[in-house]
Amino acid sequence: MSVCPDCNGVMKWHPPFLICQLCGLALRRGEYNKRWREKNQTKGKEDETQTRKKKMDRDEYLQWLLHQKK
């Protein structure tokens, strides 16, 4: 299974692209590998936790935004 480097969503293989089911990001196989390589290089070991936390923050922010509109 492939995981989106942007949002950690599931990516499906639609040749020649891998397409993220969550955010719609489309990457060729080589670009996909490159994105992950760069991501791992810049952020290191804690990458997965960091990304998860970031996603959670975004969700919380969304909730907050929705709440503000009421």
Residue with smaller CB distance to Zn ion, 7 or 32:
7
Residue 51 to residue 23: CA distance in whole angstroms: 15
Residues within the interface to Zn ion (CB under 5 A): 4, 6-7, 9, 20, 22-23, 25
Evaluate whether 7 touches 55 at the Cβ level (below 8 Å): yes
Cβ closer to Zn ion: 21 or 64? Answer: 21
Give min distance, CB of 69 to Zn ion, in A.
26
Nearer to Zn ion, 28 or 70 (CB): 28
Cα–Cα–Cα angle for 50, 31, 27, rounded to 5 degrees: 85
